[in-house]
Amino acid sequence: MVPSQIVGRLLAIAALVGATACGSNDERAATATTPPSAAPAANTASRPPSVNILLQQALPNAEGKTFTSQVVSFPPGAAAPPHRHGQAFVYAYVLKGTVRSQVDDDPATTYRQGENWFEQPGAHHVVAANASTTEPAELLVVYVSTTGDSLQSNDAN
């Protein structure tokens, strides 16, 4: 299976759980970049997001690969530490609230309910935070990873 077929199937699966892509990446980049003054409160380290795995299944038509879907719940002001998802392809869809995200050297962007992004294998997720200090946020995150690989490794302190 070629990568474009895998991405197509991931998007179809996301649609089955009520997620549909809204707008192009160019539209979001033009309208959704958040100024630094809108960043969440600095003391978010004590309020990490929680993860609920929905499905983890070896892909029968892509030997050695596993599909994982999970909901990541961010309390108000919560943030994940900078991290990587190994060699997994990652698709993220905002189910609720607003999430501020920065991958590699791209500018930090705020994504709203119904918006989405993806991360290439080996990407560095520098910022992953609830953009609101008063409302919760939730992401549907889908991974296609090598079976047995860790889905996230946080940067060393």
CATH number at residue 51: 2.60.120.10
Q: Give per-residue pLDDT as tens, 38-72.
A: 444 444 445 789 999 999 999 999 999 999 999 99
| Helix runs in the chain, H state only | 3-16, 25-31
86: left (phi over 0), alpha (psi -120 to 50) or beta: left
Task: State how far the Cα of 144 lies from the Cα of 88, in Å rounded to an integer.
Answer: 5
Statement: residue 92 has pLDDT above 80: yes
**pLDDT at residue 19, rounded to an integer:** 35
Domain span at 70: 3-154
Domain count, the chain: 1
Residues 6+ apart with CB under 8 A from 15: none
28 φ, ψ (degrees, to nearest 5): -65, -40
Statement: residue 102 has pLDDT above 60: yes
